[in-house]
């Protein structure tokens, strides 16, 4: 199975923040990052992301695979945008500066380059913060913080269960796959498409059916222990708020408001250096 991002215990001020704070920060940061297309705002966010990322002492090795995948995805996306709509930037910024004529209607314009630069920048402002959120937040604490934010504890518990059982299910998957391969099933790329689909099902079916049995076992066990009988529940991993939490939350709220003001002060979400 492919490498997955996971929580890693370290001792920095970001790790010590409460899960609620980090989640609020992540949500507001992504919303601002999604809404704004203002290059100035994006640049500031990008710089802050990088600083925070280095403060969290996340080693690049931890996130290398993820960065490669994002890099490939982003490149394809940017090329696809150009292929489908080479003059999207011209439309948005309502000006046109041709740089290079390629062929047919494909012209590289300054506006298009700028627009696509913004698209890439948008991803890079959110990615470091998201990565950091995942590697610095303990999953159990994350579930606890959800209930603090007013989400019903049963939903928080579902998420905690999901995070708890991902490794187990991956282990089951590998075991079933090996067992089937030992029986002669070819799962490699050399097999025919129809065979691969059929063989995939030979893994999927046992995996899904054992998981369904697991659902019944766990829910019975929870029933026996009286889960869901009361409106409230306490959490083992809950972390109390500290001064740093309040400061961080204040910062992200003020930052979001400022970002929106700067973005929309000229009426659109785009920053236009061409007029």
Partner 1 sequence: MKNNGNRIVVATGIGTALYIALSYVSIPLGFIPNTAIQPRTALLAFLAAIFGPFVGGAVGLIGHTLADALQYGSVWWSWVFPDALFGIAAGLFAAKYAIEEGGFGTKQIVLFNIVQIVANVVAWVVVAPVLDIVIYAEPANKVFTQGAFACLGNVITVGVVGTLLGLAYTKVKAKSSSLKKED
Which chain residues interact with partner 1 by CB under 8 A?
Answer: 1-2, 4-6, 30, 34-35, 37, 63, 66-67, 69-70, 73, 80-81, 83-85, 88, 92, 119, 122-123, 126-127, 130-131, 133-134, 154-155, 157-166, 168-170, 173, 193, 196-197, 200-201, 204-205, 207-209, 211-212, 214-216, 218-219, 222-223, 227-228, 269
- Least distance to partner 1, CB of residue 240, Å: 26
- Least distance to partner 1, CB of residue 66, Å: 5
Inter-residue contact 16 to 244 (CB < 8 Å): yes
Record the tokens describing residue 1, joined without a space.
């199975």
Q: Which is nearer to partner 1, 197 or 261 (CB)?
A: 197
Q: Which is nearer to partner 1, 50 or 247 (CB)?
A: 50
- Least distance to partner 1, CB of residue 269, Å: 8
Distances (CA, A) of 22 to 6, 52, 121: 16, 12, 22
Q: Which is nearer to partner 1, 214 or 244 (CB)?
A: 214
Q: Which is nearer to partner 1, 98 or 223 (CB)?
A: 223
Q: What is the DSSP letter of 101?
A: E
**CA 92 to the chain's CA centroid:** 28
Question: How far is 271 from 187, CA to CA, in rounded Å?
Answer: 50
- Least distance to partner 1, CB of residue 243, Å: 28
* End-to-end Cα separation, the chain, in angstroms: 51
Question: How far is 222 from 45, CA to CA, in rounded Å?
Answer: 44
Q: Which is nearer to partner 1, 159 or 262 (CB)?
A: 159
**If we measure between CA atoms, which residue out of 141, 127, 112 comes closest to residue 67?**
127
Instruction: Please count the CA atoms within 13 angstroms of the CA of 41 that sit on its side-chain side.
Output: 27
Listing DSSP states for 153-165 in one string gives HHHHHHHHHHHHH
Distances (CA, A) of 192 to 3, 186, 187, 188: 27, 9, 10, 9
Q: Which is nearer to partner 1, 44 or 207 (CB)?
A: 207
- Least distance to partner 1, CB of residue 85, Å: 3
- Least distance to partner 1, CB of residue 183, Å: 18
């Amino acid at each position: 199975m492919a490498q997955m991002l996971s929580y890693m215990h370290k001792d920095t001020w970001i790790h010590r923040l409460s899960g609620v704070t980090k989640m609020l920060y992540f949500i507001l940061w992504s919303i601002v990052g999604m809404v704004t297309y203002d290059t100035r705002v994006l640049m500031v966010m990008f710089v802050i992301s990088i600083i925070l990322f280095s403060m969290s002492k996340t080693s690049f090795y931890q996130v290398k695979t993820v960065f490669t995948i994002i890099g490939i995805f982003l490149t394809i996306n940017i090329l696809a945008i150009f292929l489908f709509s080479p003059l999207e930037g011209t439309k948005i910024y309502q000006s046109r500066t041709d740089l290079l004529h390629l062929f047919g209607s494909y012209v590289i314009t300054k506006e298009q380059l700028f627009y696509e630069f913004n698209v890439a920048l948008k991803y890079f402002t959110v990615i470091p913060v998201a990565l950091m959120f995942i590697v610095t937040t303990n999953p159990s604490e994350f579930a606890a913080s959800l209930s603090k934010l007013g989400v019903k504890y049963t939903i928080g518990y579902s998420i905690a269960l999901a995070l708890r059982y991902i490794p187990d299910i991956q282990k089951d998957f590998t075991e079933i796959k090996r067992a089937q391969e030992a029986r002669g099933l070819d799962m490699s790329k050399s097999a025919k498409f129809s065979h691969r689909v059929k063989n995939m099902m030979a893994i999927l079916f046992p995996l899904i059916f054992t998981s369904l049995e697991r659902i019944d076992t766990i829910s019975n066990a929870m029933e026996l222990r009286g889960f869901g009988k009361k409106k409230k529940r306490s959490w083992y991993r809950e972390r109390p708020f500290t001064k740093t939490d309040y400061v961080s939350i204040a910062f992200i709220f003020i930052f979001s408001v400022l970002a929106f003001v700067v973005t929309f002060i000229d009426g659109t979400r785009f920053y236009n250096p061409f007029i």
